[in-house]
Amino acid sequence: MDAGWIPKSRQVGKSGLKVKPNVYIALGISGAPEHIEGMKDSSTIIAINSDEKAPIFDVAHYGMVADLFDVCEGLLDKID
């Protein structure tokens, strides 16, 4: 968002939206407090991060230590 890739309306967190979906999939999100503030009340939080110590795992209901690009490829196949 800061780099202008996506509009500010897509930002989740302290400076953006507070969201509460049934399923929140955090792909390569470190879990900074400013981000957590905007999504912590989601019903089911699934985190995929290559760093096992990423703070996002502290709030995730399900977590996977993996490269998100590998996981997304399989996930897209399933969705298709």
Ligand X SMILES: Cc1cc2nc3c(=O)[nH]c(=O)nc-3n(C[C@H](O)[C@H](O)[C@H](O)COP(=O)(O)OP(=O)(O)OC[C@H]3O[C@@H](n4cnc5c(N)ncnc54)[C@H](O)[C@@H]3O)c2cc1C
Interacting residues toward ligand X by CB under 6 A: 11-16, 28-30, 32, 34-35, 38, 48-51, 54, 67-69
- Helix (H/G/I), strand (E/B), else coil: 5: coil
Q: Least separation, in Å, of the C-beta of 23 and ligand X?
A: 18
**Closest residue to ligand X using C-beta atoms:** 13
| Contacts of range 23-29, beta carbons closer than 8 Å, 24 or more positions apart | 26/56, 26/60, 27/68, 27/71, 27/72, 28/68, 29/54, 29/56
Q: Least separation, in Å, of the C-beta of 62 and ligand X?
A: 15
Q: Least separation, in Å, of the C-beta of 66 and ligand X?
A: 7
Q: Which of residues 2 and 80 has its CB atom nearest to ligand X in the complex?
A: 2
Q: Which of residues 29 and 60 has its CB atom nearest to ligand X in the complex?
A: 29
The secondary element (H helix, E strand) that includes residue 71 is: helix 68-79
**Distance of alpha carbon 40 from alpha carbon 27, whole angstroms:** 15
